[in-house]
Amino acid sequence: MKIYTKKGDDGSTGLLFGGRVDKDAIQIELNGAVDETQAALGLARAFSASSELSQLCIYLERDLWVLMAEVATSSENRSKLVAKKTMVDASMVAKLEEEIDRISALFDMPREFVIPGGSPSSAFLDWARVTARRAERISLPYVRQNKDTEVGRYLNRLSDLLWTMARWQDGQILRTRDIEEGV
C-alpha cells in the first residue's frame, strides 16, 4: 500500500463516510490544529519518565482521534457517528474535568504567572495547550453549525487539563530538585 493516492493533488481531501472538501475548509483546519495537539502530547510522553503521565497522554491522544473523526464527517453523515468511537460525547468532557480535579489535588497551584519550560515534558504540555486553544478558536464555526457537538467544550476542558498537567510536571521537577538539594 502506498502512502500517496494523488487524490488530493487538486486541493481537496476525503471525509469519513465519504465526500470531499477543500483542504482549507474549516473542519480540515480544525483537524490540523488537533493533529498538532496530538503530536505535542506525543512529545510530552516521549520526554517524560512518568508512566502516569504517559498513560494519560495516550488516553488523550486516542480521544483526539475520536474528535477528529467527528470533525471529518460531513453534515449529511453525522447520523453515522457513534459516541466515544467517532463522536465526542458529554462523558468525555466529564472525564477531562475529573482528571483536572484529580491532578490539581497533587500539587499547590502557582500563585503567579507561569513561564513555560520548567521541564521538557511540561514545555511540551504547554505547547499542546496552546495548540488546543487554537483548535478551540478554529472550532467556533463548526460548533455553531453543529449544535449537538461537544467538540468546543471538549477542547476548552482539554486545554485546562493540559495547563494543569504542565504545572503538575513542573511541581514534580521542583520537588525532585528540593529533595536533591536537601530542602
Q: What is the pTM of this model?
A: 0.90
CATH number at 11-180: 1.20.1200.10
Neighbours of 119 (CB within 10 A): 20
pLDDT tens sequence for the chain (183 residues): 889 999 999 999 999 999 999 999 999 999 999 999 999 999 999 998 889 999 999 999 999 999 999 999 999 999 999 999 999 999 999 999 999 999 999 988 888 888 899 999 999 999 999 999 999 999 999 999 999 999 999 999 999 999 999 999 998 654 444 444 554
- Domain locations in the chain? 11-180
Q: Which residues contact 166 (CB under 8 A, 6 or more apart)?
A: 114, 116, 118, 122, 123, 125, 126, 129
DSSP characters for 105-123? TTSPPPSS---S-SSHHHH
